[in-house]
Structures are given as structure tokens and as C-alpha cells.
Amino acid sequence: MATAMYRPALGSATTAFLARKHQMLIDGQWVDARSGQTFAVEDPATQEVIAHVPAGDKADIDLAVAAARRAFETGPWSRISPAARQRLVWSLGDLIERDADELAELEALDNGKPVTNARRDDVGGSIEMFRYMAGWATRLNGEQIPVSSPGDWHVYSLREPVGVVGQIIPWNFPLMMAAWKLAPALAAGCTIVLKPAEQTPLSALRLGELILEAGFPDGVVNIVTGYGETAGAALAEHSDVDKIAFTGSTEVGKLIVKAAAGNLKRVSLELGGKSPAIVFPDADLDRAIAGTASAIFYNQGQCCTAGSRLFAHQSVYDKIVEGVCQEAGKLKVGHGLDPSVNLGPLVSNEQRTRVVGFLEAGRQEGAEVVTGGKVMGDQGYFVEPTVLARTDRTMKVVREEIFGPVVCVQSFDDSDLDAVAKFANDTEYGLSASVWTRNLKVAHMMARKIRAGTVCINTHNYGDPAWPFGGYKQSGWGREMGKEVMEHYTETKAVAARL
């Protein structure tokens, strides 16, 4: 790679956005942090500072929560019809679609991810999320409940929005995580304080502009940029927040649970993973190789569902290792804004340091580095796509979430599915898994035996707004997307009337 990382030109809309002063959205107004503090946002491919955003903290969270409370209790939002809510949520999808190219550029610049993927998956997925969730606004209903108590009764349930929601999101899919959080909460009629990750706040701020343009009333969505330890912690422990939704590391997820205990706010968590991709001997090997390589290298491996433990049956092990290494070699590495790039930098220096530490630990524990294993270039946070073979369950690289383009391959020789599942389930996580086979029975029996919230057959990293997504074990609490997510943003009230 050339020493100086070349940054492709930005479109005029993105250039204009970057040139604007960046402020936080509180009560329908763009404001600075009360402290006046800001922090720098960088392009992880060039390490250039591209923007400064407010460093919001507890004082700003207090204002944002108060605005969200007013909007929930007394604002026009509290009286809006479900159909009007549906139209607003839908229109946000339309505005994102209008500005799709700009948002994709912003995401590639801020996070480092390939712009082609950002346009298709991050932006495309966000549009679809708002459109799918819009429909729930008019479909949330309670039930009439037949009861057996003596006398005549009319008993029914109501579904009400849970109230003021705090949402804390990570840096791996900045816009899409905002969409996953905001869309169902808005459809349910909640009001929101959103805290984007410090590394990637820009697309959320652009989304804030679209939220105002769509016509959401003041205070319905508030966006506070800031650090997790200050702004995030203040939101998680706030006594006037009814629910907190968090996506990020398992470690911080546990802090969120503790912080939420003060007022017993509702909590949903999407946390880490160490997902297995299991290749059986009868798999279509070309598909399995391409699919398991993409399972780990997509988004530079910074996916909570990344297929980071690759289990290959002994009889296909060599072919799989060789094939995945070849796939790694085909990836074009470079600035995410280059439309032909498939692998960008990691999001930050901190993240690269973490990943490099894991690579070092893997070597020390005896893993064989078949390809990759090093940082790339001297500018930007690039790490080579890496295949570690001869790994085993005792190794740190196999047990812990690396969140980088590093796959640990293990072989199995069992034909007993329970034994294979035991292998795959040997982790404290349970977010996702993939099974690669042409045998229907093997595929569906494995889907039952794997202890994870999602299982993919002959694919990995699947997603759709209708697909309930979430984790078993330490991968989290609750489900996002699908009809299941609406449970998190509503309370059920039971009403009994003596007739």
C-alpha cells in the first residue's frame, strides 16, 4: 500500500455538511454542549480530523431528557394519531433515500467502511427499517380477554408507548443502528434521547436534520453527542428515562444494567458475539468459502454477528483454510470512499491496538497465522485480513470477541450433531451462527441445537427488518426488529370493567 492514503473526492452535499457547525439536537434546536466543549472526529483511513462535535455530558442529557418528557406528556406527539405517526416514520425513510449517496459517503468517511457497502447495507437497510416499522404504528393493539371470574366483565388490554427512551449505539453501523433504535420507538409513540458513539457521530447528526425536515415535533428525538463515560452513563442512570436500549460491548452492557437499577427502567441489550460458522463435508464448498470469508471480513470484521469461529469438518478443512485465505487475498484494501474497495480501516487507533493485541496473543498461544496478521501501511488503521489456523477452545483469540478481520479456524471430525453443537456452543456468547450443508436434516437439526438468537443456513450476517434479532446468553437481552421489538417500546395495560 502507498504510504500516503489518498482520499477520493467528496460530493458537494457531504462537503457542505462537513463545513457546517456541528451541534446537538435538543428540543428541536441545534445547540452546543452546555460546557462549550467539543471533540474531534477523524477519518480512520487518513487520520485527518474531519469535524468537531459537542462533548455533551450530564447537563445536556438532563436538558434532552426534560425535552423528551415534555414532548411525551404534553406535546403534539402525545395526541398524534397512529396514521400520522406512521406517515412521519415512513417519510424519514424517503428522506434518507433522497440523500442516500450523501449519507453513504458520510458513513464511509466517518467509520472507514467501503462506500459501496454503506450505500447498499447501511443506508439501504435504514430506509427499509423506517418503512417496515412505520407499519407498526397502526397495528399495535390490545386484546379483548375472556375471563372466568364470577359476574359480567369486559376485560381488555391496551398497548401504550413505554415513554422516554434512552438509546446508546456503537460505531460499527452508525446510521443503521440509529435506524434500528429510532424506527420502532417512534412507531410506538415514544420520545427519544439518542447518544451516538464518539467515534462516529456524523450520520446521526445528519439524520437529525432529516428528522426536523420530516416534521417530527420538538423534543420527540433528541441527539446528544458525547463520551460513553459521561453522556452515556448519565442517560443510562437517569431517573426520568423509562427505558434504555443499548448496543455495544458486553462489558458496557453490564454497566448499563447496573445504572438502570436506580429506577428499574426497562433494558434491552445487543451485545458481543463469537459466532460459529460450521462447514459440513457435504457443503457447496465454493459457496461456503466465499460465505465464511465474508462472514468475518465484511465491515472489517466489526460486526457483532461476525463468523469469527470457523469450524470445518476434517475432510474439508484444508480446502476451507486455503479458500478463505484466497478470498482474503482478493480483497481490495483502501480508503472506504473508493467504490472499488472491499476492506477499509478499522474505526480507530484504539480498535486497531486491541486487534493487534489479539493477534499477538494468538501467536503466543500457538495459533498458526496462515495469512495476514499484521497492520498495513503507515497511515490509517488498517489491519490485514487474517486467518488463524490450529486454534483451540483454550485460546484467548477463540474465547473473546476480537471485532476485527481475524478468523480462528478449528476442525471437527464428529458426525454426531450433538457433539458438533457442543463445540459451537462452547462460548459465553449466543448471538448468531451459520451452518453450511446441503443436507436439510443436518441444517435444521443444527439450527435447533445451536444456542444463539439467530441461525443462518448457507449464508451468514443475514438481516431484514422483519427478522427478530438478538442474543442468548451474554449476547444480550431482548430482540430488535420484527414484531418482537415492539414489546420493548410498549407497556401492556390490562383494564377490567364490571358490567
Catalytic residue set: 270, 304
CA separation for the pair 112, 439 (Å, rounded) = 39
Number of other CB atoms surrounding residue 30 within 10 Å: 17
Number of residues that bind ligand NAP (CB under 6 A): 29
DSSP 145-191: ----SSS-EEEEEEEEE--EEEEE--SSSHHHHHHHHHHHHHHHT-E
Q: Does residue 223 interact with ligand NAP by CB under 6 A?
A: no
Cβ distance to Mg ion smaller for residue 226 or 228:
228
Q: Please state whether beta strands 309-313 and 406-412 pair in parallel, antiparallel, or not at all (unpaired).
A: parallel
Q: Does residue 389 interact with ligand NAP by CB under 6 A?
A: no
Interface segment toward ligand NAP; rule CB under 6 A; list 25-33, 248-256, 332-340, 405-413: 248-256
Give me the helix-helix angle, 174-188 and 100-111, nearest 10°.
130
* Choice from 56, 228, 405, 463 touching ligand NAP (CB under 6 A): 228
C-alpha cell at position 365:
498461544
Q: Does residue 86 interact with ligand NAP by CB under 6 A?
A: no
Site map for ligand NAP, 8-37, x if CB under 6 A?
------------------------------
Quick check: 355 and 346 in contact, CB under 8 A? yes
Cβ distance to ligand NAP smaller for residue 61 or 443:
61
Site map for Mg ion, 225-244, x if CB under 5 A?
---x----------------
Cα separations in angstroms, 126 against 25, 26, 132: 20, 22, 10
Give me the helix-helix angle, 100-111 and 12-19, nearest 10°.
60
- Phi, psi of 430, rounded to the nearest 5 degrees: -165, 55
* Choice from 103, 168, 183, 435 touching ligand NAP (CB under 6 A): 168
Number of other CB atoms surrounding residue 182 within 10 Å: 30
The nearest distance, CB 249 to ligand NAP, in angstroms, is 3
Contact partners, residue 447, CB within 8 Å, separation at least 6? 435, 455, 457
Q: Does residue 383 interact with ligand NAP by CB under 6 A?
A: no
Q: Does residue 41 interact with ligand NAP by CB under 6 A?
A: no
Site map for ligand NAP, 184-203, x if CB under 6 A?
-----------x-xxx----
CA separation for the pair 254, 181 (Å, rounded) = 19
Interacting residues with ligand NAP between 249 and 268 (CB under 6 A):
249, 252, 255-256
Cβ distance to Mg ion smaller for residue 230 or 386:
230
Interface segment toward Mg ion; rule CB under 5 A; list 166-174, 224-232, 269-277, 417-425: 224-232
Q: Does residue 224 interact with ligand NAP by CB under 6 A?
A: no
- Chain residues in the site for Mg ion (CB under 5 A): 228
